Structure formats: C-alpha cells, structure tokens
Amino acid sequence: MKKRILIIDDERTLCISMQEGLKDMGYCVQTALTGEEGLSKVISFQPHLVFLDLRLPGMGGLEVLKEIKNIDSNTEVIIMTAYADIKTAVSAIKHGALDYFTKPFELEQVEVIIQKAFENISLKEQTYLLKEDKKRRITPIIGKHPSMMEVMKQIRILARHDDATVLIRGETGTGKGRVAYDLHYCSKRKDKPFVEINCGTIPANLIESELFGFERNAFTGARQSKKGLMELADEGSVFLDEIGELFPDMQVKLLRFLEERRFKRIGGLRDIEVDVRIIAATNMDLEKAIERKEFREDLYYRLNVVPINLPPLRERGKDVILLAEYYLQEYSRKMGKSMSGLSPEVEKLFLEYRWPGNIRELRNIIERVLILYNGERLELKHLPEEITEGKYTGEALRNGVPGEGGYPSGDGFSLEKILEDIEKKYIREALEKTRWNNTRAAELLGISRYSLQRRIEKYFGKPGDCAQ
C-alpha cells in the first residue's frame, strides 16, 4: 500500500515542488491551498501524513490541526512555519503535531522527517498489536508422529510462498492458532503485523468495523475515523479463526476482499488497498455447512487454496506423552514446583484416553494438577474423574460409553456422534451451573456467546429448549 501524504499550504509553487519531489520518492501526494480544502481532502484522501502550514487564509493552521486530529487521531501532522512562528509551532506539538520545521527547507530535510513520521506510525501500530500478541498462549509444535511431521513440512513450504491463502482444519484444541503463528513468523512477513481475528467472538453488528474500520460520523458514536484490523495488518498476515462462524453478510464482504484485496471503511468512499496474507481456520465441517446453506461455496474455494489438516491428539500416538512432559516442565518452572514426569499408569491412561478437547484439554489438566498438587511425578490420584473413570478411553468406546443412551457395542462407533454428545452434555451442565446465563456459560466453556447460541440451536432447537 502506497503511503499517502497531503500538503496544506497557500503557496502554490511550494505545493507543486514538494508534490513532485515526494512523488519521486514513491509517495502518493495531494495538495490543498486552504485549511477548508485540506480538511475535505483529509476525509476523502485519508493521508497517513500531513504537512501543514501555520499561516493559512481563512481557517488557521492550529484550528486545522485540531480538526485533523478530531477526524483521525492516527494521522500524523508536520508543521511548516517561518522563524517568527516557532512559539506557535511548539504550541501545535502540544495539540498533537509530531514535529515542525522552518521555511525555507531542502527536500533532503523533508525526507528525513518523513522517515521519522512513518517510523512513528509503525511504532504505534506495533504497540497495539503487541498488546494483542501478549494475550495469546503460544506452545511450540511438539510431536514426532508422521502426520505432524507432514504438517511441519507444509509449514516450511508455505512460509516461502507467503501470498498463498491457507485454510487450517482440525478439531477444537488441536493447535490451529499455533500453525497460523508459525506460517507468519517463518515467512518474509515475520517483521510485519500478525493480526488474529476470532470470527466467532465479534458480534454481527461490529465485525465489519473491526475488520475494515470506519469513517468519522459513519454511525452514531463514530467521533473519529478508525483503521480496521485489515489495514493495520498491511504487509503482514491476518488469521481468521473460527471462519465457519462468520455471519452470512460478512461472508459476502470477505469474499469481495479476497478477490480484490481492497475494501472501503464503513461510511467511506475511497478504496483502500492492502497487501496481507490470509490464513483461516475452522473446526467446522464446511462441506456440510455449504449443504445447509450456512457457508458460501465460493468463499470456501477462495479460502481453501492450500489446506492444512491437523490430526486430533488421539491419532498422534506417543505425541501425547511428549506434550504432557512439556507442559509438566513448563508449568513446574512457572510455579516453582518439581513435578517433571508421568507414572507408567498415567502414560498408559493418557495413550488410551480419547482427548475430546485435544491439546487444550491436556494443557488445562496439567495446569490444574500443578496448581493443586506437589510431587516428583504425575500419578493417577492427581487426575480428574473424567479421565480416571475411563468414560472416554478407547476400551470404553469399544464396549459402549456409559451414560445417556450409551453406544452400541461392536467393532465400530461414530466418533462424530460421541463428540457431539459430549459437547451437548457439557453445554447443558454449564447452563445449569450458571442458571441459564448464556454469557457466563460461554465463559465457563471457553467459547464465545454467539458460538454457544448456535450450538444450543443445533442440539436443542430453540434457545430455551435445553432447559427441558
């Protein structure tokens, strides 16, 4: 995306000479001869940087500066002034200008100031994204199973082809976010932003403004323009987690963006073009969602350029032991404890257990054990009942899972049906514990309120039917 610079100065010759010089440096440049014209172009042109003369006919420079910051506080402003106005220039910095320089000036001086300004813009965006990064709990990809070795190979290849759209598929808790993270940080985009957007946690009326931003006065309460996450991620990667939860209206807009790599902010008229790599992830069966008319087929093909399929933990053999030992050592170190190994009985049980919650479930169990117990190694007595009772071990599933309805014994069973029943059971329990408060139940289950509502409708029909 070309950097946009606006020059506001009543000296036509200066505007033309600066414009030509900055265009030669590779910038997109427009000019304005009055404050009023300048503010109009701040709205239509949306510059990253404004060079503003203090002495303008009509609306003065300080007043223009304040209005620019009201329109979009992220727009950087450099004051141009004569020696006699230095005191006013200092006042302008107090009102939000980044810097000032005096006339006359050399273009080389301006180039240095521009570099400083764009470094400041980049720093602001990185600071925001760094705060988001700290919310993530990133675990290294650990495993020696052939299926995971194949995933690691795909990551290495796709890191070199950092324009290809990737769709990561796998059950909840299999590490899709970790793969997306590696796809970015192993590529040439690693020094640019990595922006994660959970499509299942953002309300329908907010997701467009989160993705694409909005203009001032685009809707009630929009007092300033705001960049969307797509714009903040320019030259980096965007990770669209839970893409199957995206609302139908946004599926259309995302498809258009994927085809053109440009968008308009809400309330905006100008197309904004960005260079981002799209990585999407889902635990949903998108083919079935297409059949149910819940997911657009054309969007599916746009996203499924290169698929990566993550195996569930129960299919990774002894990887579960490697992961358990890693988490034991990690949480022991953090909590100042010495538990670092698994007893033979625990190893056997971990290999037999089906892990419906996959790596996330394993991690949470290990963390819980380290909080509650001390010892040199993890023993059966430390584990929660859902594991030690063996309800979801391979032997139990082969012989019929005890509980609601059970499962027929025999050589085979429907894993999808079993997992649905487990999910249904825990949703009902969470709702009962929270007295049918969807928000609190969703927090307890570790999913979004909107994801919970969809599951309630899927399993129980109308939202209130699960209480029956």
Secondary structure, 3-state, 312-335 = CHHHCCCHHHHHHHHHHHHHHHHH
The total of other beta-carbon atoms located within 10 Å of residue 354's CB is 21
Measured torsion, CA atoms of residues 319, 323, 326, 332, in degrees rounded to the nearest 10: -140
The rounded distance, in Å, linking the Cα atoms of 339 and 374 is 7
pLDDT the model gives residue 465: 47
3-class state of residue 317 by DSSP: coil
Helices in 172-292 by DSSP H: which ranges?
176-185, 207-212, 229-232, 248-260, 286-291
pTM, full prediction: 0.64
Question: What domains can you pick out in the chain, each with its CATH number?
Answer: 4-131 (3.40.50.2300), 154-310 (3.40.50.300), 314-413 (1.10.8.60), 415-468 (1.10.10)
pLDDT given at position 83: 64
CA distance 75 to 68: 7
SS3 320: helix
**Residue (of 156, 171, 126, 165) closest to 422 by Cα position:** 171
The phi, psi pair for 277, rounded to 5°, reads -95, 130
Nearest to 178 by CA among 146, 155, 199: 155
Pairing state between β 237-241 and 277-282: parallel
Computed on alpha carbons and rounded to an integer, the radius of gyration of the chain in Å comes to 28
Residue 419, C-beta contacts closer than 8 angstroms, at least 6 positions apart? 171, 356
Q: Which residues contact 177 (CB under 8 A, 6 or more apart)?
A: 136, 138, 196, 239, 241, 281
Contact 360, 172 (CB under 8 A): yes
- Sheet containing strand 49-53, edge to edge, reads 28-32, 4-8, 49-53, 76-81, 99-102
Query: Is the separation of the CB atoms in 176 and 317 below 8 Å?
Result: no
Amino acid at 40: S
What does residue 214 show for φ and ψ, rounded to 5 degrees? -150, 160
In one letter, which amino acid is 92?
A
DSSP string, 200-222: TTS-TTTHHHHHHEE-TTSSTT-
328, amino acid identity: L
CA distance linking residue 329 with residue 341, whole number of Å = 8
Q: Which structure tokens are listed for 266?
A: 């809400």
Residues 6+ apart with CB under 8 A from 454: 245
Per-residue pLDDT tens, the chain, 468 aa: give them.
678 999 999 999 999 999 999 999 989 999 999 999 999 898 888 898 999 998 898 888 889 998 998 887 778 999 888 765 677 777 888 888 888 888 888 888 888 889 888 877 766 655 544 454 444 445 568 888 989 989 988 998 898 888 999 999 999 899 999 999 989 988 999 888 999 998 888 887 788 999 999 988 888 877 888 889 999 999 999 999 999 999 888 999 999 999 999 999 999 888 899 999 999 999 999 999 999 899 999 999 999 999 999 999 999 999 999 999 999 998 999 899 988 889 999 999 999 999 988 999 999 999 999 998 888 899 999 998 878 876 555 554 444 444 444 444 444 455 566 777 778 888 888 888 888 888 888 877 877 776 787 788 777 765 444 544
Dist CA 109 CA 101 (whole Å) = 9
Alpha carbon 288 to its chain centroid, in Å, reads 25
Q: How far apart are CA 35 and CA 79, in angstroms?
A: 13
Helix, strand, coil shares of the chain, percent, nearest 5, are: 50, 15, 35
- Contact, 230 vs 264, CB < 8 A? no
Structure tokens, 373: 């117990």
Question: Which pLDDT score is estimated for 403?
Answer: 42
The C-alpha atoms of residue 468 and residue 464 are separated, in whole angstroms, by: 8
C-alpha atoms less than 13 angstroms from C-alpha of 145 in its C-beta half-sphere: 20
Asked if 303 and 257 touch (Cβ cutoff 8 Å), the reply is no
Q: Which of 111, 116, 101, 97 is nearest to 27 (CA)?
A: 111
pLDDT at res. 314: 93
